[in-house]
């Protein structure tokens, strides 16, 4: 589960890149989140470790997943089960 700041930063990165064709710089992220650079650096590191984004520099960031993963979906994928039961075609 993502922390509030991490989720907010991820949404800002996604929406900003879609509307502006580039990633925001650190000053823009500070302004949009109201957080200081060290807090944002920590949030970006957590997003990298969670494989939501890739890239060391903010200008090089690539978004891997634009939304938080759902815990039940992750658990189902890990166990190999599917909703509705019975494999791909509903058969066991």
pLDDT at 76: 56
Q: What is the pLDDT of residues 23-71, one digit of tens each?
A: 999 999 999 999 999 999 999 999 999 999 999 899 999 999 888 888 7
From the options 1.20.120.1810, 3.50.50.60, 1.10.10.10, 3.30.2010.30, give the CATH code of 4-75: 1.10.10.10
* Domain positions in the chain: 4-75
> What local confidence, expressed as pLDDT, does residue 78 receive?
57
- Give the residue carrying structure tokens 């991490």: 6
b/e string for 3-19 if b means 16 or more Cβ within 10 A? eebbbbbbebbbebbee
- HEC string of 1-55? CCCHHHHHHHHHHHHHHHHHCCCCCHHHHHHHHCCCHHHHHHHHHHHHHCCCEEC
């Amino acid at each position: 589960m993502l922390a509030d700041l991490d989720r907010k930063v991820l949404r800002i990165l996604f929406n900003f890149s879609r509307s502006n064709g580039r990633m925001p710089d650190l000053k823009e992220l500070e302004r949009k989140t109201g957080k200081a650079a060290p807090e944002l650096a920590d949030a970006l590191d957590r997003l990298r470790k969670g494989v939501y984004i890739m890239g060391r520099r903010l200008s090089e960031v690539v978004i891997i997943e634009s939304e938080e993963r759902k815990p039940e979906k992750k658990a189902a994928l890990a166990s190999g089960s599917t909703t509705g039961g019975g494999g791909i075609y509903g058969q066991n």
